Structure 1
Amino acid sequence: MTFDALLFDCDGVLVDSEAITNGVLCTMLNEAGWALTSADCLQLFIGKTVRSEAARIEAHTGQPLTDAWMAAFYARRDARLRAELQPIDGALQTVRAVHQRLQGRIACASGADRKKVEMQLQMTGLAPYFAGRVFSGHEMPRSKPAPDVYLAAAQALGVAPACCLVLEDTVTGVQAGCAAGATVLGFCPPGIGHASAEDLRAAGAVQVLQALHELPAWLEGAPCRC
């Protein structure tokens, strides 16, 4: 028996957005007085919400993380995404194939805010395949690495978490999928992956894919615990 549902992360899995978002964040943190490089910013914030790191930001900038600052970040981030965002190679074909194979039992479970996720899916032509099945960690009691967003997605699909396959590109995300009781595949495309294959496996990924087009074939032959 194969898996009954597939739960996709969004950033870094379906869309190539991580460098864009973190670039804006790095610029704004430097403007606020925290001198850090793009590489340091990516390492610190990949897979996390900005608000979850409020204490760290405030300690380095000496300023409170206000709603106004967050609103400015979202506005600058979204403008860059609208101008530059591209799908991960093979995303549309892979999602279409998996959607058909699993009879629509797929979802997008992201740690990002809903507005960003839905905008990105719309921009890349992926939105129809996730209509009504987009879940944001911002709307959950806890964000990744807690399992809340994946548990909510599985429940909405009417599938036990143990019968779900999760695709994630960050250690935080892999930890969230594992904590939900799902089987987790890591995703580490050459030149784009922001976590190493070794780190993803250490976090609990059963295997690491390097390209999205590998997913349907892997799903075809995969065993399931349910």
Structure 2
Amino acid sequence: MTPVQRFQAVLFDCDGVLVDSEVITNGVLRGMLHELGWQISREECVERFIGRALTDEFDVIAEHTGVRPDQAWLLEFRERRNRALAVDLEPIPGAVAAVTTIASAFRGRIACALGADRPKIELQLGKIGLADTFGEHVYSGMETARSKPAPDVYLAAAIGLGVDPHECAVVEDTVAGVTAGVAAGATVFGFAPGGPASTPPDALLAAGASHLFSSMSELPDLLGSGVVAASAN
């Protein structure tokens, strides 16, 4: 595979793109919201929280529970979440092979950029064997001024790789992530595999995704051709 010249680098989200973590993490969150008195449904919890930094949603939680989460609550959430991820986390089918192929084709010009805290990112990439593949090019939205849907973490990743964000492909699976990639000026490939935590394809298109795909095994060829219209998928 020879990458199209207009893509100089590929920037990956992680949750829902590389690892099947969304159901695990969202389940832990839903349980803790129930403990606060908000009997939120599985469907609403997915819709409200997936793809967004939890700290940005504290006001929403306070509106529904009368309790605004504090640092101790957040730390407990992260501890419970990490324990669950350490046991149950699996890679998205085909993701490890796709990243390995793309890293070779783009001569290492890849990055992982997401809104989560760094310990979670490192746990997840380590568990699926991709920590060394991304190396130092791992970027947390917790370490930028704004997290997704703002473009900051993708801009930081492009700067770190030394490339123009307009020459980057971004791989995302949520509306917030697609919005961030578009705002950064990148071309966004929307991953819509289906399933309880998957964003509907139409929502990814509405947010600005230029291409859609449903299997990670498709991605190397899509990035190689760069011409598959979203409407054709």
Decide: shared fold, TM above 0.5: yes
Report whether the alignment pairs 1:7 with 2:11: yes
Please state how far the C-alpha of 1:191 moved relative to its aligned partner: 2.4
Matches of 1:173 and 1:64 in 2, distance apart? 25
Q: What's the secondary structure of 2:113's corresponding residue?
A: strand
2:87 corresponds in structure 1 to 83
| Whole-angstrom CA distance in 1 between matches of 2:143 and 2:70 | 19
* Residue deviations 1:128-150 (CA, integer Å, cap 9, x gap): 11110000001110010100000
Sequence identity percentage: 51
Partners in 1 of 2:219 and 2:186 — Cα distance?
A: 16
What's the TM-score once normalised by structure 1's chain length?
0.97
Match of 1:158 among 157, 162, 172: 162
Aligned mates of 2:98, 2:87 — CA distance in 1: 24
Contact in 1 for aligned 2:194/2:200 (Cα 8 Å): no
Among 45, 51, 58, the residue aligned to 2:55: 51
* SS of structure 2 residue aligned to 1:190: coil
Q: 1:111, 1:143 within 8 Å by CA — same for their partners in 2?
A: yes
Q: Name the TM-score, length of structure 2 as normaliser.
A: 0.94
* Residue of structure 2 equivalent to 1:73: 77
Q: Contact 1:9 / 1:167 at 8 angstroms: preserved in 2?
A: yes
Q: For residue 35 of structure 1, report the CA deviation from its aligned partner.
A: 1.1
Q: Distance in 2 between matches of 1:79 and 1:175?
A: 30
Q: Does 1:121 align with 2:121?
A: no
Q: CA deviation at 1:49?
A: 1.2
Give, as a single letter, the amino acid of the residue that structure 2 aligns with 1:25.
L
Report the Cα distance in structure 1 between the residues aligned to 2:86 and 2:65, rounded to whole angstroms: 28
Query: What SS does the aligned partner of 1:129 have?
Result: helix
1:80-136 CA-to-partner distances (Å, cap 9, x unmatched) read 000100000011110000000000000000011111011100000111111100000
On the 8 A contact 2:22/2:197 being kept in 1, the answer is no
Deviation beyond 6 Å, 4+ runs, structure 1: none
1:143 has 2:141 as partner: no
Paired residue total: 223
Which consecutive residues of structure 2, in runs of 5 or more, have no partner in the other structure? 228-233
Specify which of 173, 177, 184 is matched with residue 180 of structure 1: 184
User: Residue by residue, what CA displacement relative to the aligned partner does 1:7-66 show, whole Å, maximum 9, x if unpaired?
Assistant: 000000000000000000000000011111111111100101111011111111111211
Superposed displacement of residue 2, structure 1 = 4.1
Where does structure 1 lack aligned partners over 5 or more consecutive residues? none
Q: How far 1:193 moved relative to its partner?
A: 5.2
Structure 2 residue 60 is the aligned partner of structure 1 residue 20 = no
Q: Secondary structure at the match of 1:109?
A: strand
The root-mean-square deviation of aligned C-alpha atoms, in Å, is 1.0
Asked if the contact 1:2–1:220 (Cα under 8 Å) also holds between the matched residues in 2, the reply is: no
